[in-house]
Amino acid sequence: MTLPAPGAAGLADALALIADVPDFPEPGILFKDITPLLADHAALAAVVAALAAPGRDETGEPVVDKVLGMESRGFILGAPVALALGVGFVPVRKAGKLPRATYAVSYALEYGEATLEVHQDALAPGDRVLLVDDVLATGGTARATIDLVEQCGAHVHAVAMLMELGFLPGRHEIGTVPLTTLMTV
Ligand code: AMP
């Protein structure tokens, strides 16, 4: 796949396509809808290139072995990031969706608990992994995914997020793992 090398203006134009949807899926939540961005080829290409950047060294060479995407918008963004880096893609799924032996991590939500899973053979010990998702909110999803990677004996090289909700503590949840976010709201 060939992607253009967009400049900063291209990325800003892309991020401007994200739509705010008040009170979705419940009152008080300002939902960040990335579907207008996904529907625009130039915007999608700019965002994919920017999210892939933390998986490269200063010469532009890929330095990760796998890209992991978290269900479900992490699949949409993560798979083309993996192609851009020339590596494979691994889905991290909600409980009960993966058909073979998995590792699982449960984490607290505002109400209740969620569980994420990854196939036990999806990563080799020592693999360097780039995590990709759309929104870093409380950081629970990212933290659980980092824990899953560590259960596999692999290493999280970096986390790449389209957007960070700066009023929530997500950044602190992921600790010392390098974090790239394309915008903070
Ligand atoms: P968290 O675990 O709290 O960091 O939440 C991250 C996950 O929830 C991501 O996979 C996002 O897709 C989704 N998410 C959280 N807050 C929002 C929001 N305001 N708009 C859209 N998606 C969100």
Least Cα distance to 68 among 55, 50, 58 occurs for 55
Segment 118-136 shows an average pLDDT of 98
Give how many domains the chain has, as a whole number: 1
Q: Residue 174 to residues 77, 82, 143: CA-CA distances in angstroms? A: 20, 21, 5
pLDDT in tens, 53-84: 999 999 999 999 999 999 999 999 999 999 99
Q: Answer yes or no: is 36 within a domain.
A: no
pLDDT at 5 over 60: no
Active-site position among 100, 110, 117, 150: 110
Question: So what's the pLDDT on residue 111?
Answer: 77
Active-site position among 26, 56, 73, 100: 73
Question: So what's the pLDDT on residue 155?
Answer: 98
For residue 31, the ligand 1 atom closest to its alpha carbon is 20
Q: Answer yes or no: is 153 within a domain.
A: yes
Q: Answer yes or no: is 14 within a domain.
A: no
Pocket residues: Cβ below 6 A from ligand 1: 29-32, 70, 73, 133-142, 170
Cβ neighbourhood burial of 85 (10 Å; 0-12, 13-18, 19+)? buried
Helix, coil or strand: residue 93: strand
What CATH number has the domain bearing residue 177? 3.40.50.2020
Question: So what's the pLDDT on residue 109?
Answer: 84
Q: Answer yes or no: is 5 within a domain.
A: no
> Measured in angstroms, how far is the CA atom of residue 136 from the centroid of ligand 1?
6
Residues of the domain holding 68: 60-184
- Residue 117 annotated as catalytic: no
> Measured in angstroms, how far is the CA atom of residue 139 from the centroid of ligand 1?
8
- Residue 73 annotated as catalytic: yes
Q: Answer yes or no: is 86 within a domain.
A: yes
Least Cα distance to 52 among 9, 6, 98 occurs for 6
Question: So what's the pLDDT on residue 2?
Answer: 46
